[in-house]
Copies of this chain bind each other. A is one copy, B any other.
Amino acid sequence: MDSSTSSERMELKKIARKEGVSPSAIERGLRNGSIVAIGDCGVGAGLRTKTNANLGCSEGFSSLKKEMEKAEIAVKYGADALMDLSVVDVGLRAKLRKFGVPLGTVPVYDTFAKREPDADDFFSAVEKHCKDVDFVTVHCGITKRTSAMARKRLIGVVSRGGALTALWMARTGKENPFYAEFDYLLEILKDNGVALSLGDALRPGALADADDAAQEAELRINGALVKRARKAGVAVFVEGPGHMPLNTIAHHVKHMKKVCGNAPYYVLGPLVTDLGAGHDHITAAIGGAIAGAAGADFLCYVTPSEHLSFPDKEDVREGVVAARIAAHAADIAKGVPGARLQDDRLSKARARLDWKTQFALSFDTDACVRYRRSRPPACGNVCSMCGEYCAVKAFRESRKGAGK
């Protein structure tokens, strides 16, 4: 740690304390790239699985106030990070800093706000965003070659930044600037101390497209770029799918870790069926929990409005809670130290019918209180599901009956 500054050492200790692991474990992870620090949040091997909530203004939905309210809800319900995916710039990302959580953006959306952007517009957008953020998603792995591979797919490219880059390449005949001049991108990020999240422009948008040649080709490009980013001293992690059959997820995560030198994996889903619109926070929670248990480190939430419409506050709440359930289930499965302590505390409270403590320890205390108030038990300290037939109550009595 000779070359590290004292502020770096402070940050390292802070991360270690929050994660309940030793500073040397964090330092080792940061050195070998299996852990990345975004702000004072550690993401990677051996650490608690993190969750991200996407926000941002779209055409016709560009209220700064509403997005700030959504951010407040996301943070209240435990999102570890926020991404501002605005395609209409109302100054949201600078405002989001007030929440004190790591912030990411996808700068290339700004590039495509211009009618005929050139290659420089790709980099100037990144440079501009770097002033406000901890990490940026950049779609480097979609190239002339790999985007052509996606033409064979059932649903092609479903990443916004990826599809717009493919369209730009088709129109200009030029290579993706982020791929062609990757070293220039690294320079900008290095100068600004911003982490690189290698986007998965070619994530499958349908089960039928999962694990195809395009996805694999992009993953291999991203794996090679991870090495170059590390060499350049840029913290790097990799984004992942998408829609994938449940039985392929665990293997895929292990494969990605191998191809990408154990870089942290940031997944959107995976969604385990294409039929879940209106409930895709659930479809994604299933895949996210399995991915997390297999080693994915960072889960991007999916809201119930995915595939349908711009999300509202309620969608954000549902999305964050679902992602936290998935991340926590994964942490218990992969043995993150202390992951189950809160479950045990809650279940002890449940065993003594202590509702207040149960609710306080649940992911969504407000929902618990709302349910109980709206349909209280007819009598007694039970819940209205079983009333006096409450199993917990009956078993407590049977213990007494047995003299225990």
Which A residues are closer than 8 A to B by beta carbons?
Answer: 58-61, 87, 109, 112, 147-148, 150-151, 154-160, 162-164, 166-167, 169-171, 205-209, 243, 245-247, 272-279, 281-283, 285-286, 289-290, 293, 304-312, 318, 321-322, 325-326, 328-330, 332-334, 340, 342-344, 346-348, 350-351, 358-359, 361-364, 367-368, 370-372, 374-379, 383-399, 401-402, 404
**Does A276 lie within 8 Å of B325, measured CB to CB?**
yes
Chain B residue at minimal CB-CB distance from A382? B59
Q: Given the known inter-chain contacts A245-B332, A311-B385, A375-B61, please indicate yes or no for A154 contacting B344, CB distance below 8 A.
A: yes
Contacts of A371 in B (CB 8 A): 277-278, 304-305, 308-309
> For the complex, would chain A's binding face be called helix, strand, loop or mixed by DSSP majority?
helix
Q: Can you name 17 extra interface pairs (CB under 8 A) apart from A156-B351, A309-B375?
A: A59-B388, A87-B386, A87-B387, A156-B395, A157-B391, A170-B401, A205-B350, A208-B340, A272-B332, A275-B346, A276-B325, A276-B363, A277-B362, A279-B321, A282-B285, A307-B350, A310-B375
Known: A112-B389, A308-B383. A325 touches B163 (CB 8 A): no
Which B-chain residue is minimally distant from A335 (CB atoms)? B247
Assess the A308–B208 pair: CB atoms within 8 A.
no
Look across to chain B and name the residue whose beta carbon is closest to the beta carbon of A388.
Answer: B59
Chain B residues contacting A308 (CB-CB under 8 Å) are 368, 371-372, 383, 385
Given the contacts A282-B322, A322-B279, A404-B151, A350 and B206 also touching, CB distance less than 8 Å:
yes
Residue in A206, A277, A348 with the greatest tally of chain B CB atoms within 10 Å: A277
A399: shortest Cβ distance to chain B, in Å? 6
Complex Cα spacing A207 to B375, Å: 27
Complex A-B: 26 CB contacts under 8 Å: A59-B388, A87-B386, A148-B402, A151-B399, A151-B404, A155-B351, A155-B392, A158-B392, A160-B391, A163-B390, A164-B394, A167-B394, A169-B398, A205-B392, A206-B344, A209-B347, A246-B332, A273-B328, A273-B329, A276-B363, A278-B367, A279-B321, A279-B364, A283-B325, A286-B289, A309-B371
What residue of chain B has the Cβ atom nearest to residue A400's Cβ?
Answer: B170
